[in-house]
Amino acid sequence: MGTVLKGGNVVELEPASVERVDLRIEDARIVARGPDLQPKPDDEVVALSGKLVFPGLVSAHHRLHMSLGRGMPEPRLDGYQDALEKVRWRYEGALDLDAVQVAATAGGLEALQCGTTTVFDLHSSPKEILGSLTRVARGLHEVGVRGVLSYAVTDRVGAVGREEALEETVSFTKKAKGRFRGQVGAGHSFTLSNEALEGLKQALASTSTGLHVPLAEDPLDEKLSVERHGATPVGRLMEAGLLSPQSLVAHAGHLGWADLAQVISTGSWLVHTPRSNQGLEVGYAPALKFGARATLGADSLSADLFAEAQAAYLRSREAGQPIDVLRYLANGHRLVSQAFQLQVGPLREGALADLLILDYLPATPLTAENLAWHVVFGLGSRHVEAVMVDGSWRLWARRPLSLNPMVVADQAREAAAAVWARMAGK
C-alpha cells in the first residue's frame, strides 16, 4: 500500500522549482513523480488542490534540553559570560533524566508543528550524563521526527564528567539506528582541556563521524581559550585534527578571516543561528562569508526554520551582505543526507519521504524565480497542515498523530517547575 499526493505544487529548493505534479510514496520513499499518476487499488489518495508540497526542514544546531527553560526567572545579567554561568549552565545542572526526555518530547513536538523533520541536537545535562542521549531519542521517537544526537563533552564539571560524556556520545553513536544517528559533541573551546581534545579525537576515530561544536559565538570564546590554553579556538581544533567534512561548526560569529578560512578549508558545515545571536546580543555572524556548506539552526529557540530563514535573510540584507536563503535551507537536506547516507530533501524518485503539506495560497504568482521571496515574506509555520517523516504521516490537519499535545504540555510544565525549583535551591 502506498500514498499518492495528487494535484499539489511540489517545491524544490536548489535549483529552485515549483511544479504541479503528483507523488507516489511507498516503503518510506518517493517511488514515482509525474503529472497524472494513477493510484494502485489499495493506495491512499490525498487530493491537495494546489497546496504546496515542501521538503521537511532541518535545524542543524539545536538544544532540545532548553525547551523547559522558556520564561524561567533570570537574574540580572552582565554579558555573555553571565548568560552562561548564571543561566544556561545552572539550568543544565538542574536537569534529571526524566526532564531530559520531557524536554525532548516538547521540543520535538514544536519542531514537528513548525515543519522541521530533523534536528541535530547538542545535549548537556552534567549531573545525569549516562543514558541521557537515549532519553532524548525516546522523547523524539514519541513525536516521530529524525534526530542526530551528540553530548557536549567538556571539562567544566571535571575529568569524571568529561569521560562519562565521551562514553555517552560514543556509545549512542554506535547503537543509533532508524531515524537516529549520533555525532561526537563538544562544549565551548575554553572549557576543553588538552586531554578533552585528545578524547574527542579518539571518539571521532572510533565512531567514524564528525564533531558538533559551538565556536566563537562571542569574543569570550577566544579570550578565555588564549588565557587558559595559550591558543585560539580554531588553532586548537586544527592542531588536534578535529574538523572534517562531517563536522558541524555552530555560530562562528567572531572569527577573523584567517580563522574562518581555515574552518572552511576543512569542509566543515557552518551553522548560522541568527535568532539566537540576536537574543544573546552577541552580534551578527557574517553569514555571506560562510562558504558553500552553510546552513541554519535554531539553537535554544523553537525549531521554526521558516522564522530562522526569514531572520537570516533580513538580517543579512540589513548588514549589506544578503545570503541565498534557499541554498541555506537546501544545505540542511544535504547535511541530513550525509548523516543518514540516504537522499533526503529533493522530492524525487528514490528520496526518503520527509515532506510538508502547506496550505499557502499566495496572493501573487509563485514561481521558481520568486520562490525565495515567498519563503522570506510569505511562508510560515502557520501554513503547516501535515507532516510526513519516513513515508508516515506524523501531523495531519495540524494535529500530531502519536501523542496528545495537552498531555505533553502538562508534563513539560510540571518538569519545568521542578527544574526551576532545583535551580533556585528549593
Summarised one tens digit per residue, pLDDT across range 182-201 is 999 999 999 999 999 999 99
The confidence score (pLDDT) of residue 74 equals 82
pLDDT of residue 426 exceeding 80, the answer is: no
pLDDT of residue 77 exceeding 90, the answer is: no
The confidence score (pLDDT) of residue 265 equals 98
pLDDT of residue 392 exceeding 70, the answer is: yes
The confidence score (pLDDT) of residue 105 equals 98
The confidence score (pLDDT) of residue 1 equals 85
The confidence score (pLDDT) of residue 321 equals 95
The confidence score (pLDDT) of residue 425 equals 83
pLDDT in tens, 81-130: 999 999 999 999 999 999 999 999 999 999 999 999 999 999 999 999 99
pTM exceeds 0.95 = yes
Report the pLDDT averaged over residues 203-230: 96
Closest-CA residue to 110 (of 337, 403, 374, 376) = 403
The confidence score (pLDDT) of residue 78 equals 87
Report residue 218's pLDDT band, with 50, 70 and 90 as the boundaries: very high
Spell out the SS3 assignment of the chain.
CCEEEEEEEEEEECCEEEEEEEEEEECCEEEEEECCCCCCCCCEEEECCCCEEEECEEEEEECHHHHHHCCCCCCCCCCHHHHHHHHHHHHHHCCCHHHHHHHHHHHHHHHHHHCEEEEEEEECCCCCCCCHHHHHHHHHHHHCCEEEEEEEECCCCCHHHHHHHHHHHHHHHHHCCCCEEECEEECCHHHCCHHHHHHHHHHHHHHCCCEEEEECCCCHHHHHHHHHHCCCHHHHHHHHCCCCCCCEEEECCCCCHHHHHHHHHCCCEEEECHHHHHHHCCCCCCHHHCCCCEEECCECCCCCHHHHHHHHHHHHHHCCCCCCHHHHHHHHHHHHHHHHCCCECCCCCCCECCEEEECCCCCCCCCCCCHHHHHHHCCCHHHEEEEEECCEEEEECCEECCCCHHHHHHHHHHHHHHHHHHHCCC
pLDDT of residue 235 exceeding 70, the answer is: yes
| C-beta separation of 100 from 65 below 8 A | yes
pLDDT in tens, 265-320: 999 999 999 999 999 999 999 999 999 999 999 999 999 999 999 999 999 999 99
The confidence score (pLDDT) of residue 116 equals 98
**Mean pLDDT (the chain, rounded):** 97
Report residue 57's pLDDT band, with 50, 70 and 90 as the boundaries: very high
| C-alpha torsion angle, residues 231, 234, 240, 246 (rounded to 10) | 170
The confidence score (pLDDT) of residue 317 equals 96
CA dist 319 and 322 (Å) reads 8
| C-beta separation of 312 from 274 below 8 A | yes
The confidence score (pLDDT) of residue 166 equals 98
pLDDT of residue 75 exceeding 90, the answer is: no
pLDDT of residue 424 exceeding 70, the answer is: yes
